[in-house]
Amino acid sequence: MNDRSREVFRRVVEGYLDTGGPVGSRTLTRTMSEKVSAATIRNVMQDLEFLGLLDSPHVSAGRVPTQLGLRMFVDGLLEIRDLEDDDREKIDATLGSNENDVGAMLDRVGAALSGVTQGASLVLAPKHEAPIKHIEFVSLAPDRALTVLVFADGHVENRLFQPAPGQTPSSMREAANFLNAFAAGKTLSDLRRSMQVEISRRRQELDDLARVMVEAGLAVWENEGSDHERLIVRGRANLLADSTEAEELDRIRSLFDDLERKRDIVEFLELAEEGEGVRIFIGSENKLFSLSGSSLVVSPYMNADRRIVGAVGVIGPTRLNYGRIVPIVDYTAQLVGKLITDRGKR
């Protein structure tokens, strides 16, 4: 693109991000750095449309950027602003409590992020990674059992699950004893990595029921419910605030359904882990919420060992104010990492 085409393209995208509507040639004649006619601008717009960067939603209604156009703008023309003091203060206010409840702290962070961006915030909480002290299986009914996991820091987690048919109190005790022989001092991630090897090596020491019980006990910590509970979503109502078009409302309802039913939350963390710092996913690039045509701005956060343990993000329509939201998400991820690290030192 030459300088004129680049300026027309940039102003169309910025106008769309600002208003959510198409930008016409007459509007651009008032803002272009050089004096050009509306006819000249229309010709440039047609060229940009031919390249797949712009689209015309209605005849004579101006142009809007395509997904390809938005990606090109974000990668090459987006100007990232400095974090505004007012936004920083609102996010910093989440530091006001010294409570040990990480979930409550992250809920406040999510609410602040949603309030500042006027979008929906997503916060993926870290899994509990303290060393394990004890594991126990408790039979509640023939088709229902409880896994009790006690950590060295005193934290206790319980998970209900459906055991395989034929489980007995004896096989549950054998499975628990087998796990506890290897669990002490290991984190859940450590144990999960090593147990499949141990099960294979010591297959003769376990009867079939106990082996199935061990595998079920490990799997229950990766089940759909526990991962889903890690995702904190705040500010869904913000997505409806400026939406009037039926098509846009349908996309938002689709997004709501995704947020309610999505279970493979590990993918959300994978989105953040695939690159350094803040990442922007536009429309169908966003494999978690692609059907709703939404954009996601996401950044990972790390624990004291500099290991990625969670992520924060903002999701909304493709006309997000990326230049303002990127530094907000980046700062929030750094803040959450600091909070997690500080609590790990106590």
Cα 56 to Cα 46: distance, rounded to the nearest angstrom = 9
Averaged confidence pLDDT in the chain: 79
Compute and round to an integer the Cα radius of gyration of the chain: 25
Question: Looking at residue 116, what is its pLDDT?
Answer: 92
pLDDT single digits (tens) 7-18:
999 999 999 988
Q: What is the DSSP pairing of strand 64-65 with strand 120-124?
A: unpaired
CA angle 314, 221, 276 (to 5 degrees): 35
Residue 244 tokens read as 């009037």
pLDDT single digits (tens) 34-89:
888 889 999 999 999 999 999 987 766 789 999 999 999 999 898 888 999 999 99
Question: Looking at residue 225, what is its pLDDT?
Answer: 40
| Residue scoring higher pLDDT (63 or 232) | 63
Cα 308 to Cα 306: distance, rounded to the nearest angstrom = 7
Q: How confident is the model at residue 289 (pLDDT cuts 50, 70, 90)?
A: low
Q: Which letter does DSSP use for residue 63 in this model?
A: B
pLDDT single digits (tens) 170-223:
888 888 888 888 777 887 777 777 776 676 666 666 666 666 777 666 665 554
Question: Looking at residue 226, what is its pLDDT?
Answer: 47
Q: 10 Å Cβ neighbour count for 247?
A: 9
Residue 218 tokens read as 């490990």
